[in-house]
Amino acid sequence: MGNRAPSLFRPSETWLAARGVLQDLTKTKSPPNNRVPKSHISPDSRQSASLLQHSSSNSTAVSEAASHAPPRVPERSPEAEQMLHQLLAQLGSFQALQAFEQQIDRPLYALDCEMVTVRGKGGAMKSALGRISIINATGQVVIDEFVRPQQPIVSYNTRWSGIRKRDLVDATPFPKVRDRLRTILKNARVVGHAVSNDFRAMNLTSKELNALVYDTSASSTLKIAALGENDGNAVSLKRLSKYLLHRTIQEKQHCSLIDARVTLELYQYDVNLWRSHQRLRS
């Protein structure tokens, strides 16, 4: 998963106090503790799944049934209420999110990819899919698999991707994985962070899949809720997770399974902002 350089802006203390009012509004019940079949998880990602289960004990998962029940509105002082109105007024339009969320007849998936570097045609270096993780709306693992690229691997990018040479020795060849992805994502709603990079790695397009896409890196509402401003630059998944979910990720190597989970929770955070905005305007 690739991102542009993150904004260096840091939220002010005043903004942090105002944003704190949102915390109760953006909390939903944790999903049931669904056990993931081991056969769905690549060997080295079982540890990731364990960490994921631990780190998300108080996390949000998108349940299409639960998403229609607005969160409870806590009692607030007049000053806090005024702050919240001012904050939500700055969040702008939720049109894209509303259109995406209302397509409940389509399955919803969150995904993330890890890349390796390969030697392409003419010797040019490029990124290729090395691991793909997809979870459904309730947080269950749909696919979490290492992928063997078709081109010669130059670097496993282990420092960032967490992928090692041994992970790809018996990995599923890319064409087979792509066929599975095409079946899973067809006519679906897909949530990702800088998701265009993931589609490029999968060698698929949302148009050919007839899929709807929601990119958390492009959400102005998430950025304003996290930082208090929108300067047009992308915000990393790591920073959004820290400011909005109070969770530290990507401290060392990335894990596509954890990143997919965080992306799903950020989407639900955005949905809850929209529902709070609707309620306060009514």
Among all chains, which residue has been given the structure tokens 């950025």? 223
Residue 35 lies in a domain: no
pLDDT of the residue at 198: 95
Measured between its terminal Cα atoms, the distance across the chain in Å is 39
- 276 in a structural domain: yes
The DSSP result for 133-161, as a single string, is: EEEETTS-EEEEEEEE-SSPEEE--HHHH
Domain count, the chain: 1
In a domain, 94, yes or no: yes
What span, in angstroms and rounded, lies between the C-alpha atoms of 273 and 219? 12
**Among 14-28, 130-144, 216-230, 261-275, whose mean pLDDT is lowest?**
14-28
Q: Contact 225/89 with Cβ under 8 angstroms?
A: no
Residue 6 has pLDDT above 80, yes or no: no
What pLDDT score does 22 carry? 56
pLDDT, averaged across the chain: 75
Instruction: Tell me the residue type at 99.
Output: A
Residue 166 resides in a domain: yes
Distance CA 266, CA 245 (A): 8
Give kind and range of the element (H or E) at residue 131: strand 125-136
| pLDDT computed for residue 86 by the predictor | 64
Of 60-64, 105-109, 207-211, 258-262, the poorest mean pLDDT is in 60-64
Residue 152: inside a domain = yes
Strand partners, 143: 134
pLDDT at residue 273, as a whole number: 81
Q: In which domain, by residue range, is 19 found?
A: 13-25+41-281
Confidence of residue 253 (pLDDT cuts 50, 70, 90): confident
Torsion sign over Cα 17, 224, 259, 263? positive
**The one-letter amino acid at 226:** A
pLDDT at 173 over 90: yes
Is 135 contained in some domain? yes
> Is the pLDDT at 138 greater than 70, yes or no?
yes
pLDDT tens-place string over residues 50-60: 333 333 333 33
Structure tokens at 61: 């998962």
Confidence of residue 282 (pLDDT cuts 50, 70, 90): low
CATH code, domain with 184: 3.30.420.10
> Whole-structure pTM over 0.95, yes or no?
no
Q: How confident is the model at residue 35 (pLDDT cuts 50, 70, 90)?
A: very low
Would you state the pLDDT for residue 60?
Answer: 37
What percent of the chain clears pLDDT 90, i.e. is strictly above it?
41
Asked if the model's pLDDT at residue 5 lies above 90, the reply is no
The per-residue pLDDT for 189 is 97
| Position 31 in a domain | no
Residue 33 lies in a domain: no
Residue 209 is predicted with a pLDDT of: 97
Give the model confidence (pLDDT) of 206-245 as tens digits: 999 999 999 999 888 888 777 766 666 778 888 898 888 8
Given this model, what pLDDT does residue 93 score?
A: 64
